[in-house]
Amino acid sequence: MNFTFSEEQAMLREMARKFADKEMRPRLEELERAGEPAPELVSKMADLGLLAAHLPKEYGGGGLDFVSAAIIWEELSKASWTMTLGSLGHAVLSGTILARAASTEQKEKYLPPLCRGELLFATATVEPDAGSDATAISASAVLEDGRWRLNGTKNFVTGGGTADHILVLAQTDRKLRAKGMVLLLVDRDTPGISIEKVRLVGGRTSDIVNLAFSDCLIPEENTIGPVGRGLHAAFHGIDTARVFITAGALGMAQDCLDSALKYSRERIQFGKEIGNFQLIQETVARLFAEISSLRWQLYYAADLKDRGQAHGKELSAAKWLASELAVRAANEAIRIHGAYGCSDEYPLEHHYRDAVLSTILGGTSEMHKLMIGRELTGFNAMT
Ligand SMILES: Cc1cc2nc3c(=O)[nH]c(=O)nc-3n(C[C@H](O)[C@H](O)[C@H](O)COP(=O)(O)OP(=O)(O)OC[C@H]3O[C@@H](n4cnc5c(N)ncnc54)[C@H](O)[C@@H]3O)c2cc1C
């Protein structure tokens, strides 16, 4: 067991920190107020090797382990978790699915430009009536003369407004449920696609859309993986995304603690810096204890995943607790800042709005509790 970062990990952390300070923090206020995403961040991250760190080297990725990826993502998310969400939908979710399920020819065609940030990708699985229960999707794909006819609606697609290609999970035969599903790579300019921007409580700097597909014709060669294994491939991407979402939640929580500590040394009330008061110390001490414990839980789960070992309950525990901790840390940090914490002139309130999103994507807290319960007891309480 080794509790020290390697030289390379320490260097990556420094690089990600500098990137967040130089490319993200200075633009945050402007982008948050305008509600604008920053898709150009994707190629800037790619230039530094921060974008596709976990993807295979042979296709242009960094070939790094998940602990290193978590270290990068935590640093970036200290500035803004949702400014990096586009990269999550692109390199993490879609990149992982392609690396896992695409044919060698498809990987050679799509992964290098994905890793360079030249072509953008998004993944669409969730529908109006199929969220946590992915087996309920009804988007249909019917094969006709070498082309899939795709119809249906997909909701909350991260990066879907700017993506060049969207990986769409569709059903070929409802009777087969999960075993009838297929993943299709859909070009953005395919006739029959309509896009509707979604405005969420947070995530103002992200590009999240609902997509409708009406009689879209998709070449059969754009099938990713075998028919019947689409959901399996999507779950593989979601499992990897959980590492990044958890690291992002910890980054938000850490930034909230750092801001609270700074403010508690500066703000004077009752003739003293507020950091002198025991109730303030209890709050920051608890946040420190929880953040550091969960960071090790995440590294442990990521390490198990790196070694190809079972990591379901360990990663679920980290994802559930870290995302809820981020919500609480933002709340506590805002309270320590008093009314100033509620103002958008202090770089805190965006974490308050963003953190709640991290409790939902990549599986809700309830789903993670149920997955842990299922593994521990052997009983499925989900259905
Ligand atoms: C910021 C953000 C980005 C996203 N990006 C993408 C994306 O790129 N691609 C994509 O396809 N989707 C994306 N999503 C959608 C996300 O995957 C879903 O929101 C998530 O899976 C939950 O589905 P739902 O919202 O339909 O909630 P539902 O599944 O309807 O759940 C509603 C509530 O019921 C609870 N619940 C459901 N079933 C059970 C049960 N069996 N037992 C107990 N409680 C239960 C849930 O925990 C939740 O509290 C994104 C969502 C967000 C917020």
Bridge partner residues of 209 (DSSP): 157, 197
Verify whether ligand 1 is closer than 6 Å to residue 94 (CB atom). Answer: no
Please report the pLDDT score of residue 178 as a whole number: 94
Listing DSSP states for 229-298 in one string gives -HHHHHHHHHHHHHHHHHHHHHHHHHHHHHHHHHHHHH-EETTEEGGGSHHHHHHHHHHHHHHHHHHHHH
The total of other beta-carbon atoms located within 10 Å of residue 302's CB is 28
pLDDT at 1: 79
The string of pLDDT tens digits covering residues 210-244 is: 999 999 999 999 999 999 999 999 999 999 999 99
State the pLDDT at residue 37.
87
Backbone angles phi, psi at 380, to 5 degrees: -95, 110
Ligand 1 atom 14 nearest Cα:
156
Domains belonging to the chain, first-starting first, are 7-116 (1.10.540.10), 121-228 (2.40.110.10), 232-377 (1.20.140.10)
Work out which ligand 1 atom sits closest to the CA atom of 124: 11
> From the alpha carbon of 82, which atom of ligand 1 is closest?
1
Ligand 1 mean position, distance from CA 278 (Å): 39
Q: Would you state the pLDDT for residue 234?
A: 98
Q: Tens of pLDDT along 123-138?
A: 999 999 999 999 999 9
44-74 pLDDT tens trace: 999 999 999 999 999 999 999 999 999 999 9
User: Which pLDDT does position 36 carry in this prediction?
Assistant: 87
| Residues in the chain, pLDDT under 70 | none
The whole-model pTM stands at 0.97
Read off the pLDDT of residues 330-360 as tens digits, 9 standing for 90 and up.
999 999 999 999 988 888 999 999 999 999 9
| Ligand 1 binding pocket mutation candidate from 364, 374, 382 (most atoms within 8 A of CB) | 364
Cα 218 from Cα 14, distance rounded (Å): 43
Q: How many C-beta neighbours within 10 Å does residue 138 have?
A: 14
Query: Which residue has tokens 């110390």?
Result: 281
